[in-house]
């Protein structure tokens, strides 16, 4: 293995270490996700004022935008893990990439459904083939493709490698989703939140939105840790460290 | 620092495939550029860009005061404007909640003797979110500034 990867990363990449590490962090991540999510929902649905233009209907933004952001964030994370998995054949990277896909697909689905529910009263239509909506739908298909390809192989590691290729090629769609509203005329609005500049939202609406975006990150971490742990146990079934865990669990 | 040959070879292959896919995507996007525009503006239509389409989407702002509703049917007529043009639109049907003066709208339909006959009218909203009080306060400040500017301009007059 290449010697320029720091030692701690190397250690974390070993299944038993990651299993313990993820097991220790998972409850904290989940607690933070639930706590922040509850604060964000209270802030967004109760404390935040109604919008001058859309009235109370805009409040679906507190679900829609964090989900949309996660759909791209998780794809990027999956792409990076898939890249590491393909080049260095690290088992943990395969697990992280493959277990990110269903979480990302769920967020993408929520994005499309909430967007549709929002579009009907405001725009006047459930769906339209503009660049933003279409590229987000393509993102969902990419996730489903990765999941499908992974499970199409008898050998899990072979499946993971094939799916990792699709994940890497599909990463090109992520900037297209993000910049679609700038590159083309779309029915969808432009970006409200600007990382490098003034966001186009008053602060009493913005803080619940940002809090929810943080909550979804923790949810992703918690969900990924849980899924990866299960997957590692299944993959490493015959190994000593798994035997030891099984023996410990079996003790009365 | 040196990498082992096998991962290095894989790295090259993966990067090459990624580059090829990126170039393919850019080519597709550039090729589709003309077809991917969701709408045409009134000035684009007036300069003849809509000539090749039987139906297309017309986008712009509803001119304030131009909305006229029929008394005995759902027929509505209004004018869609952009920076350099205006287009009268006819539509029969239910309009979205956001449809009003000075709202961005996107109408699907076809041209009929310099009129646009819409089969669907969608409202577009921008990316700004703020409470109504703030919007009113800003509008008021804006109006006050206009009055002040006008007063200042008048003071300067001889």
pLDDT attached to residue A108: 97
Contact A88 B133 (CB under 8 A): no
Q: How far apart are CA A235 and CA A213, in angstroms?
A: 32
pLDDT tens figures, B47-76: 887 777 888 889 899 998 889 998 888 899
With beta carbons under 8 A apart, name residues in chain B contacting A204.
131
Q: Say whether pLDDT at B157 is over 60.
A: no
The pLDDT > 90 percentage for chain A reads 69
pLDDT tier at B1 (50, 70, 90 boundaries)?
A: very low
Chain A residue nearest residue B128, CA to CA: A200
- Check if the beta carbon of residue A231 is closer than 8 Å to that of residue A243: no
pTM (2 d.p.): 0.86
Residue with the bigger pLDDT between A222 and B29: it is A222
pLDDT attached to residue A172: 93
Q: How many CA atoms lie within 13 A of A16 on its CB side?
A: 10
Report the number of distinct structural domains present in chain A. 1
**Residue A31 counted as domain residue:** no
**Residue A144 counted as domain residue:** yes
Q: Say whether pLDDT at A59 is over 80.
A: yes
Binding site feature residues of B for heme: 125, 129
Least confident of A56-65, B2-11, B141-150: B141-150
Q: Is A170 exposed, middle or buried (0-12, 13-18, 19+ CB in 10 A)?
A: buried
- Using DSSP bridges, classify how beta strands B85-92 and B115-124 pair: parallel, antiparallel or unpaired: parallel
**Residue A39 counted as domain residue:** no
Structure-block tokens of residue A251: 């003790």
Q: Say whether pLDDT at A221 is over 90.
A: yes
Write out the residue range of the structural domain in which residue A141 sits.
Answer: 52-191+216-238
**Residue A33 counted as domain residue:** no
**Residue A46 counted as domain residue:** no
Chain A residue nearest residue B34, CA to CA: A184
Least confident of A44-58, A68-82, A183-197: A183-197
**Residue A117 counted as domain residue:** yes
């Amino acid at each position: 293995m290449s010697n320029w990867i720091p030692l701690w990363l190397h250690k974390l990449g070993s299944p038993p270490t990651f299993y313990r590490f993820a097991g220790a962090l998972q409850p904290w991540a989940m607690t933070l996700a639930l706590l922040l999510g509850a604060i964000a929902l209270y802030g967004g649905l109760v404390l935040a004022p109604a919008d001058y233009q859309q009235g109370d209907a805009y409040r679906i933004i507190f679900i829609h935008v964090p989900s949309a952001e996660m759909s791209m964030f998780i794809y990027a994370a999956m792409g990076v893990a898939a890249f590491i998995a393909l080049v260095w054949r690290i088992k943990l990277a395969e697990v992280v990439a493959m277990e990110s896909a269903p979480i990302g697909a769920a967020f993408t689905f929520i994005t499309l459904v909430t967007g549709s529910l929002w579009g009907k009263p405001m725009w006047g239509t459930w769906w339209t083939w503009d660049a933003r909506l279409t590229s987000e739908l393509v993102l969902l298909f990419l996730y489903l493709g990765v999941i499908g390809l992974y499970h199409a192989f008898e050998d899990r590691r072979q499946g993971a490698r094939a799916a990792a290729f699709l994940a890497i090629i599909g990463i090109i769609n992520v900037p297209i989703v993000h910049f679609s509203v700038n590159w083309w005329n779309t029915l969808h609005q432009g970006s409200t939140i600007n990382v490098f500049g003034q966001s186009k939202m008053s602060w009493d609406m913005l803080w619940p939105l940002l809090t929810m975006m943080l909550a979804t990150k923790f949810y992703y971490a918690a969900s990924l840790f849980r899924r990866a742990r299960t997957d590692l146990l299944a993959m490493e079934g015959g190994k000593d460290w798994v035997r030891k865990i099984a023996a410990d669990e079996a003790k009365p | 620092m040196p990498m082992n040959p096998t991962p290095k070879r894989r790295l090259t292959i993966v990067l090459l495939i990624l580059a090829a896919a990126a170039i393919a995507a850019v080519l597709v996007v550039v090729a589709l550029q003309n077809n991917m525009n969701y709408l045409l503006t009134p000035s684009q239509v007036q300069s003849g860009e809509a000539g090749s389409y039987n139906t297309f989407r017309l986008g712009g702002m509803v001119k304030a005061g131009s909305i006229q509703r029929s008394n005995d049917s759902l027929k509505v007529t209004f004018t869609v404007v952009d920076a350099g043009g205006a287009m009268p639109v006819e539509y029969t049907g239910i309009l979205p909640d956001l449809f009003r003066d000075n709202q961005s709208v996107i109408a699907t339909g076809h041209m009929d003797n310099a009129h646009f006959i819409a089969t669907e009218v969608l409202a577009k909203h921008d990316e700004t979110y703020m409470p109504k009080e703030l919007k009113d306060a800003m509008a008021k400040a804006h109006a006050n500034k206009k009055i002040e500017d006008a007063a200042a301009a008048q003071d300067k007059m001889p």
